[in-house]
Amino acid sequence: MRRHRPDALRELVESYLGELAFTPELGALEEVLRYPLESGGKRIRPVLCLAVGEAVGAEAERCLPAAVALELVHTFSLVHDDLPALDDDDERRGRPSAHIAFGEGVALLAGDALLAEAFRLALSYPSTAVARELAQATLGMIGGQYRDVTGDTSDLAALHRLKTGCLFAASVGLALAVAEVPEREQAPWRSFGAELGLLFQIVDDVLDGDGYAERHGAEGARALADEAAARAHERLGAIPADTSMLAEIVGGLAARTS
């Protein structure tokens, strides 16, 4: 089976997103859903999902609806997070946030619609397994956001395991569900998936100078990121499949500068 390089997987995601037909009943709200989706995200979660899919024998084309469902959930969470009621961020990726561009009420509804559209995509598979993984991950993520917003940051690792980790773990989990990998073969993949969110988050904090960087200093946080990357590579090494593309993605996650 063909294995795409990470850049090629990202192009598949972009092209699928560009052609994605939303529910017609949304009317002109569709434009508001497209706006945050078209702002040049890194598409890390869907690319991971596609790469895991290819490693377990599922064509990228088959995994695309699941992969893009993850990106829709991620985008829904950003649109709602940016609202004044939560982070009150006027900008996102160098452009006005959705609520600045379209108004708060409309952005709120667009976030809701992105979540529902994510489930519609996840429900395009014959089994409920893909959408069930997505529901669990979404609920875990919301649990993390709740800890964050209520200032329950005593256990930073637990907070990020939920807020960031659940959706990264789901990048792996959804691919396993699409490929119908039997439960008994999933454990090493799940262990790998559990490391990704932490790696992403620590690097994020190093780049932004907050969170882990604030708590452990820039060098301390960098060391934690390197440890997380080493663990992710180690977990990958324990998987009996060709995980070379995934190793490249992990390397990219650890070394990213934006």
Does 157 sit near a second copy (CB under 8 A)?
no
Enumerate the β-bridge partners of residue 256: none
With 0-12 CB in 10 A as exposed, 13-18 as middle and 19+ as buried, what is 180?
middle
Task: Confirm or reject binding of residue 156 to a second copy (CB under 8 A).
Answer: no
Q: How far is the CB of 184 from a second copy (least distance, A)?
A: 21
**Nearest to a second copy of 29, 230 (CB atom):** 29
- At 172, list the tokens: 């792996």
- Residues 66, 127: contact at Cβ < 8 Å? no
* Euclidean distance between CA atoms 3 and 12, whole angstroms: 13
Name the minimum Å distance from CB 195 to a second copy.
18
Residue 80 in the binding site for a second copy (CB under 8 A): yes
158 alpha-carbon distance from chain centroid: 17
Integer-rounded Cα radius of gyration of the chain: 18
x-or-dash string of contact with a second copy, 116-145, rule CB under 8 A: xx-xx--x-xxxx--xx--xx-xxx-xxxx
Give the one residue of 11, 34, 59, 83 binding a second copy; rule: CB under 8 A.
Answer: 83
Direct distance between the N- and C-terminal alpha carbons of the chain, in angstroms, rounded to an integer: 32
Q: Is 34 in the site for a second copy (CB under 8 A)?
A: no
Which residues are CB-contacts of 126 (< 8 A; sequence separation ≥ 6)?
A: none
Applying CB under 8 A, which part among 26-34, 36-44, 61-69, 177-185 lies near a second copy? 26-34
Binding to a second copy, residues 190-229 (CB under 8 A): none
151 binds a second copy (CB under 8 A): no
Looking at residue 139, the DSSP 8-state letter turns out to be: H
Tell me if 112 contacts a second copy by CB under 8 A.
yes
Sign of CA dihedral 207, 212, 217, 221: negative
What is the contact surface with a second copy in residues (CB under 8 A)? 23, 25-29, 76, 80, 83-86, 99, 103-109, 111-113, 115-117, 119-120, 123, 125-128, 131-132, 135-136, 138-140, 142-147, 149-150, 152, 162, 166
